Amino acid sequence: MSGETRMIHFSLMDAYRLGIGYIRRRFQRTAINVTSIALANSFLTSLALSDRFYQTYSAIEGGTLGIDAYQYWLVAVALIVSVVGITNAMLISVYERTREIGTMKCIGALDQHIVMLFLVEAVIQGATGGLIGYFLGVLAALASVGFTTGFDIIFKVGSLDLAMFLVGTTMMSIILSIVASLYPAWRASKLPPVEALRYEL
């Protein structure tokens, strides 16, 4: 019976509203996360799209233009740094919101509700950073390839390729953001309600 009294209705839309509210209140920290994701994604998009442009140019004009393999290792490092940064920022967020989490659990929020809240925030940040990073990466690729081979080659790559890059890199940003937030979300969900309410920053 006690388990039934603790149950509350907590939908994905509720988590979205709470997540947006927190993002607005902690805009500076959110901006750091989004910037981290955007920079890593722009680097990846720029290299991948430049490589696609160079392949198209080589097929038309001949030659072996392309991206050096070591540059993709730099992308991997950037992605790892981004994940570590997001995890650290989310852990700080857990400490800052300890009393808020305790209050939610005392009025009936379950562990999965807390996890959902943090993961929804991760999706919002990942999608925002992914989209910003994509467009920055496209601009960087256009500038790099345009000055190297001429801007005509840009129009030889189809819009479907660009759309696939957009979907792929944005989804990757969302997944990375979720992965980076899993441990902080689990940590937040395990906070004892009574102790959380006593917590002072």
Per-residue pLDDT of the chain (201 residues; tens, 9 = 90+): 444 444 556 666 777 777 777 777 777 778 888 888 888 888 888 888 888 777 777 776 666 655 666 667 777 887 788 888 888 888 887 887 788 888 888 877 788 888 888 888 889 999 999 999 999 998 988 888 777 777 776 777 777 778 888 898 899 889 988 988 889 889 888 888 777 667 654
Closest CA to 50 of 73, 71, 78: 71
Position 4 scores a pLDDT of 44
Query: Residue 197 burial (CB < 10 Å; 0-12/13-18/19+)?
Result: middle
Is the distance from CB of 26 to CB of 93 less than 8 angstroms?
Answer: yes
Position 194 scores a pLDDT of 74
Closest CA to 82 of 174, 162, 19: 174
Is the distance from CB of 93 to CB of 29 less than 8 angstroms?
Answer: yes
Question: Which tokens belong to 134?
Answer: 């994509």
Position 89 scores a pLDDT of 81
